[in-house]
Structure 1
């Protein structure tokens, strides 16, 4: 996958906030912005074929009554949290 440079303009307040977030993650502002934008873009992308297959399998198992689900209370009781 290639890379393209883009010039962006942000107001000073937004930059201050983003710089603080970058420091909290021990990243440079540039790296934080690139990571955040790429992560957001991936959320908009189509799920992978492996993920689609897994979801289709879960739907099939649910339709067949073979999918076991647990309530939040059952999970807390099981793992003590």
Structure 2
């Protein structure tokens, strides 16, 4: 995958906030911004073929009435938690 350089301008307050976050993750500001933007871009990308196939299967089972579900409250009870 190729890389492209872009010049961006951010206000001082935004830079200060991002620098603090970068330090918390032991990253440079540049690396933190690049990592964050790439992660965000991946979130907007199309789901994988495996995920699409799994979701199509779930939809088919739901439409056919063969999908088994468990109420969320039962899951919480199983792990000793409450709503």
* TM-score for the superposition, normalised by structure 1: 0.89
Mapped partners of 1:11, 1:46: distance in 2: 31
- Runs ≥4 residues deviating over 4 A: none
Structure 2: unaligned runs, 5 residues or longer: none
- Match status 1:78 vs 2:78: yes
Alpha-carbon offset, residue 10 of structure 1: 0.8
What is the aligned length? Answer: 81
CA-based RMSD of the aligned residues comes to 1.2
Q: In structure 1, what is the equivalent of residue 2 of structure 2?
A: 2
SS in 1 for 2:68: coil
Structure 1: unaligned runs, 5 residues or longer: none
- Match status 1:25 vs 2:25: yes
| 1:30-79 deviation line (CA, Å, top 9, x unaligned) | 11101110111112111111111010011011112221222221111112
Mapped partners of 1:67, 1:24: distance in 2: 43
Q: In structure 2, what is the equivalent of residue 68 of structure 1?
A: 68
Mapped partners of 1:61, 1:28: distance in 2: 47
* TM-score for the superposition, normalised by structure 2: 0.87
Mapped partners of 2:76, 2:62: distance in 1: 23
